[in-house]
Amino acid sequence: MNFFIQILADVQAFTLLCLEALANLFRKPRYVKDTFSQMDLIGVGSVVIVILTGFFTGGVLALQSASSLKAFGAVNLTGQLVSLSLVKELGPVLTALMVAGRVGSGIASQLGSMLVTEQIDAMRALGTDPVKKLVTPRMVACTTMLPLLTVLADLFGLVGGWIVSFYTLQLNTSLYWSTALRSLDYNHALEGLVKPVVFGFIVGMVGCYFGLRTRGGTRGVGQSTTQAVVTASILVIVADFFLSKIILELR
């Protein structure tokens, strides 16, 4: 019974933290400099891992799909399959998972360390609201940077798919790109951009939540970091299912 009460208490505390972080967008002071600094750390800092993830995912998609498509004599549609899979599903989800691993853990460990060394208490004692100063800038940075990182992952995924199609499947370049781009419409692009906004919010807020509820010194910081990554990854996958369902229903 205690386990369920604990989960309910966590959900309540997480919801309240999210609401407070969102409400802070409309309250002064606004930490614009901190927000840009977080955007740099989260966005620019994740570019390399996102490009590598996108590139090799696109490559492996082309490789695997071609063998199935060959059975139906439809290897020409490899570009379409790669682009639709990447833009609608794999690009947003894999980017979010990579960012959860790199950024979510970083946020949780940084805030956790600040908490156990009483820096958060010192901040409050000096008249600063830690949610406003630490949580809201990270939430904004994650929510705005993840869609941009996803676009990068999609782009390099298509390039990876093209390289595999061209060199190993001997597929014509113009055929690959024309099927890849023609299959995408406005709704697909929108779906591919709405998901990362939600995922970015989840990664940022889960990292902050677990960081701020750290207990028990450096060991606690390690636990918070692990919990943040695991919870954010699960929530991203669960949210992906529900978002896909909602978007399909709305069409």
Partner 1 sequence: MSAIRFERVSKSYDSLPVLQDFSLEVREGETKVVLGGSGSGKSTLLKMVLGLIKPDSGRVYVHDQDITHLSERELMPIRKQIGMVFQESALFDSLTVGENVGYRLLEEGTRDLDDVEQVVRRLLGFVGLERAIDKMPSELSGGMRRRVAIARAMVGNPRIMLYDEPTAGLDPITGRTICDLMIELRDLQGVSSIFVTHDLKSALNLASELAVPGTDDEPVVFRPENDDFCLINTRFVILREGRILFEGFDEAMLESKDPYIQEFLT
In the list 13, 25, 122, 234, the residue contacting partner 1 (rule: CB under 8 A) is: 122
Q: What single-letter amino acid sits at 234?
A: I
In the list 10, 34, 89, 129, the residue contacting partner 1 (rule: CB under 8 A) is: 129
Nearer to partner 1, 70 or 124 (CB): 124
Phi, psi angles (nearest 5°) of residue 117: -95, 15
- Per CB under 8 A, the segment of 62-70, 116-124, 188-196, 220-228 that binds partner 1 is 116-124
Nearer to partner 1, 40 or 121 (CB): 121
Gap between the Cα atoms of 172 and 165, Å rounded = 8
- Provide the token pair at 64: 């695997």
- Provide the token pair at 124: 């409050």
Helical segments of 73-185, H only: 78-85, 91-99, 105-116, 119-125, 130, 136-167, 173-182
In the list 12, 64, 70, 121, the residue contacting partner 1 (rule: CB under 8 A) is: 121
In whole angstroms, the minimum distance from the beta carbon of 68 to partner 1 comes to: 51
Question: Left (φ > 0), alpha (ψ -120 to 50) or beta: where does 184 sit?
Answer: beta
Gap between the Cα atoms of 82 and 166, Å rounded = 14
Gap between the Cα atoms of 159 and 167, Å rounded = 12
Contact between 26 and partner 1 per CB under 8 A:
no
In whole angstroms, the minimum distance from the beta carbon of 123 to partner 1 comes to: 8
In the list 35, 76, 119, 178, the residue contacting partner 1 (rule: CB under 8 A) is: 119
Gap between the Cα atoms of 232 and 52, Å rounded = 21
Contact between 125 and partner 1 per CB under 8 A:
yes
Q: What single-letter amino acid sits at 12?
A: Q
Please report the sign of the dihedral spanned by the C-alpha atoms of residue 222, residue 206, residue 242, residue 91: negative
In whole angstroms, the minimum distance from the beta carbon of 114 to partner 1 comes to: 8
In the list 48, 126, 248, 250, the residue contacting partner 1 (rule: CB under 8 A) is: 126
- Per CB under 8 A, the segment of 59-67, 85-93, 123-131, 226-234 that binds partner 1 is 123-131
- Per CB under 8 A, the segment of 56-64, 67-75, 76-84, 124-132 that binds partner 1 is 124-132
Q: What is the DSSP letter of 45?
A: G
Contact 9, 111 (CB under 8 A): no
Nearer to partner 1, 40 or 182 (CB): 40
Nearer to partner 1, 117 or 172 (CB): 117
**Which residue is associated with the tokens 């439809």?**
74
- Per CB under 8 A, the segment of 81-89, 115-123, 144-152, 183-191 that binds partner 1 is 115-123
Where along the sequence are the contacts to partner 1 (CB under 8 A)? 29, 117-119, 121-129
